[in-house]
Amino acid sequence: MAISLNTRVSQTVSLTPQLQQSIKLLQLSNSELEQELAKAAEENPLLEFEPNPEIESNHSQSNERVEVAQQSWGGSQISQDDDEDWGERYERVAHKQTLLEYLDEQIHLLNINPEEQSLIAYMAGCLDDRGYLPEDLKAIHTDIASQLAENTSFKHIEKALAKLQTLDPPGIGARDLAECLSLQIDRILENVKVDIAAWELAKEIVTSHLSKVGSKDWQKIKQASGKSEAEVLKAVELIRTLQHNPGSQFERENDQWILPDVVVKIKQNRWIVESNPNAKPRLTLNNEYARILKENGQKKIDGALKQKMLEASWLVKNIAQREETIQRVAQAIVERQQQFFSMGAIGMKPLVLREIAEELEMHESTISRVTTQKYLACPLGIFEFKYFFSSQVSTEKGGGISSTAIQALIKKIVEEESAKKPISDTQIAQLLSEQGYIIARRTVAKYRDVLRIPPVHLRKQ
């Protein structure tokens, strides 16, 4: 009788409670952090929390939409008053649930273990405002495996993404438009009452012939699919009912009251970053409890109370680490974007998350969290950290200019055009070319749309 021993080795994702807390705190806005700390203080008697009067008073005010000034401005407007009351400049608008909050609610309802929940929550934090996952899965795996949980396999990442993509709104977690539309169609096909054949053709079109939809090449789609033109057109109409950006309903278009994390001021002709004292969390350890614990000694402390003390210490330390990280990232951004603060958007330089990550020796995913829902106040207005990151557009001289600066130039050109004879996208591209910026006409059209500038025939008076 042969006896065999089968050993099964399984890997599990393990994020320590301290690390989970650190990641969560880093991605919270000031308003969300305030709520988190208030809840923590209610549950832990060793914590003392003083509500932020700025947040309390302004959340109770009526809605007020305030546009952030992003236009170019002269150096004469630079404020050098270090004692300026920046509280006067805060944007105050009603809070609307964010995409991350909405996903977090669903993640906590999933019937999976806490480690898997943490991993899916991490992936949710990597999504952009559209609800897409812009980061490569391999890069995310590298970040998690090297920094957070070394036993995380690539299959864990793929499984977490697949689970994330089952959440609402449909299409969330897609890596491109085709996948986004395909995910929505899969959800629709779960309903037996829909036209299955039409939706299956729609899925075939978005996965294999999406570019042909843009060019309206129905004949090629018809030939490739073997369907009639009527069937193809019906499927295309169904595709047009889908959401291109599933996260758009959660976009923050001045729908949140904003308390800047840092303030940018000029000192000795250079822009610097200072922490905003009004945004500093008012959380400390309860001194009386700490004194009693110290007098009684660690051995005499009740187990539950000792755990509360550890949790309180972790939270206070993680808050301090969050502040330090935000300050360092803000300073690195401001150092690279000095011209922006002096010239406005036209002075914006190309910048990607990787550059800041390498400079500060942090992971790109960490920088992504720090730059989301974190704001700086400057004489130009209040800006999310993410605003200062933009792609590079090539120039004739071999260098590069940021896409934000190009948009500012396009806006300036249109503002100076004749109302009776506005210039076309082709002419704008030519004017930019004369300044050394090689921009295709279709790129000009795209940036013009971003700026919400109507096409030439609608601008003519």
The domain segmentation of the chain, as residue ranges, is: 177-245, 392-459
CA distance 29 to 338: 25
Average of per-residue pLDDT values in the chain: 79
CA distance 262 to 326: 8
pLDDT given at position 221: 87
pLDDT given at position 171: 94
pLDDT given at position 249: 77
Burial class for 27, CB neighbours closer than 10 Å (0-12, 13-18, 19+) = buried
pLDDT tier at 335 (50, 70, 90 boundaries)?
very high
Over range 186-202, report the average pLDDT: 88
Contact present, 148 and 11 (Cβ < 8 Å): no
pLDDT tier at 359 (50, 70, 90 boundaries)?
very high
pLDDT tier at 88 (50, 70, 90 boundaries)?
very low
pLDDT tier at 62 (50, 70, 90 boundaries)?
very low
Nearest CA to 241 out of 174, 173, 184 is that of 184
What residue type is 37 in one-letter code?
A: L
Q: Between 252 and 179, whose confidence is greater?
A: 179
Residue 220 has pLDDT above 90, yes or no: no
pLDDT tier at 170 (50, 70, 90 boundaries)?
very high
CA distance 366 to 143: 9
Residue 166 has pLDDT above 50, yes or no: yes
Length of the chain: 461
pLDDT given at position 60: 43
pLDDT tier at 256 (50, 70, 90 boundaries)?
low
pLDDT tier at 331 (50, 70, 90 boundaries)?
very high
pLDDT given at position 147: 54
Q: Between 358 and 50, whose confidence is greater?
A: 358
CA distance 399 to 344: 20
What residue type is 277 in one-letter code?
A: P
pLDDT given at position 395: 64
pLDDT given at position 293: 64
* Cα separations in angstroms, 220 against 202, 217, 233: 15, 6, 12
**Which residue reads 């649930």 in tokens?**
97
CA distance 190 to 200: 12
Q: Which two tokens stand for residue 156?
A: 């864990």
Q: Which two tokens stand for residue 109?
A: 């309802």
Angle between helices 218-225 and 229-239 (to 10 degrees): 110
CA distance 174 to 172: 6
Residue 184 has pLDDT above 90, yes or no: yes
pLDDT given at position 251: 54
Residue 290 has pLDDT above 70, yes or no: no
CA distance 326 to 360: 11
Over range 231-246, report the average pLDDT: 89
| 3-state class (DSSP) for residue 417 | coil
Question: What homologous superfamily does CATH list for 392-459?
Answer: Homeodomain-like (1.10.10.60)
Residue 64 has pLDDT above 80, yes or no: no
Angle at 139 between CA 133 and CA 145, to 5 degrees: 115
Residue 397 has pLDDT above 70, yes or no: no
CA distance 100 to 409: 34
pLDDT given at position 302: 66
CA distance 128 to 139: 16
- Judged by average pLDDT, the poorest of 67-71, 222-226, 247-251 is 67-71
Q: Between 76 and 175, whose confidence is greater?
A: 175
CA distance 395 to 436: 6
Residue 8 has pLDDT above 60, yes or no: no
Over range 189-198, report the average pLDDT: 85
pLDDT given at position 292: 66
Alpha helices in 108-136 (DSSP H): 114-125
Instruction: Note the pTM of the prediction, 2 decimals.
Output: 0.55
pLDDT digits (tens, 9 = 90+) for 33-59: 888 888 888 888 888 888 877 665 554
pLDDT given at position 321: 92
pLDDT given at position 172: 94
Residue 92 has pLDDT above 50, yes or no: no
What residue type is 38 in one-letter code?
A: A
pLDDT digits (tens, 9 = 90+) for 77-87: 344 444 444 44
User: Is the preceding peptide bond at 169 cis, omega within 30 degrees of 0?
Assistant: yes
pLDDT tier at 404 (50, 70, 90 boundaries)?
confident
pLDDT tier at 264 (50, 70, 90 boundaries)?
very high
Count Cα neighbours of 387 within 13 Å in the Cβ-side half-sphere: 24
